[in-house]
Chain A
């Protein structure tokens, strides 16, 4: 079974803090993704990575950055957390290549910024 784990299920941070969300997958997947999920808006792509040290902006990258130093690990960084970044954050991975698009999601991190 593919396993995608996220470092925290719940996180409370203060405005202005630097926040790190970690994601690890154990299936040697090429692609990794970070989404945020808000009621009525579905999942919106923040960043994705198709290889180590590679990253691509998604639909809402402002206020976020990412790091992928190892194939299995993809980190989302909030440089200076703001209250409008309170949300559920979901990490996903997929095998990559032209034939393998299936995404596998982690359980999510519910971040509250006060």
Chain B
């Protein structure tokens, strides 16, 4: 079955710097890769996603890149702000049914 690894487990950056979180997956049949942000006391919220027919997607300060050959995808956050502090999860799925999540990255943005 699918296995998703995520690094780093914790990440601290200065406000205004960039943050990068990387995930690798094992199942070449996976075709959808979402990223979720979870704030304290809340459920995860989708922030960006990418499908296997696209190499990069950007939404304001957030971007995701996908390398299907190497089976890895990354989340990039530019110009980080304190409100970006949260736990971020990557996931992979084949046709949107059995999602497999990474273990999460706790991002702290220091003012």
Contact = CB atoms under 8 A, between A and B. Distances in A.
A48 B96 CA distance: 11
A31 B44 contact: no
B25 interface: no
Contact of B96 (A35, A90, A100): A100
Contacts of B95: 98, 101
Interface string B52-73: 0000000000000000000000
A50 interface: yes
A90 B98 contact: no
B1 interface: yes
B44 A45 contact: no
B41 A94 contact: no
A57 to B, nearest CB: 9
A106 B45 CA distance: 9
Size band of the A side of the interface? Answer: 20 to 34
Contacts of B41: 107
Contacts of A90: 43-44
Contacts, number: 65
A79 interface: no
Nearest to A4: B43
Interface stretch (A12-20, A36-44, A67-75): A36-44
Contacts of A40: 9, 103-104
A94 B102 CA distance: 19
A102 B104 contact: no
A26 interface: no
A48 B43 contact: no
Interface in A8-33: 31, 33
Interface of A: 4, 31, 33, 35, 40-45, 48, 50, 56, 58-59, 90, 92, 94, 96, 98, 100-108
Given A33-B99, A90-B44, 16 more contacts: A41-B103, A42-B89, A42-B101, A43-B44, A45-B98, A45-B99, A48-B97, A56-B97, A59-B1, A100-B96, A101-B32, A101-B34, A101-B93, A102-B34, A104-B46, A105-B36
Counting from the closest, the 3 A-B pairs by CB-CB distance are A101-B96, A105-B43, A42-B101
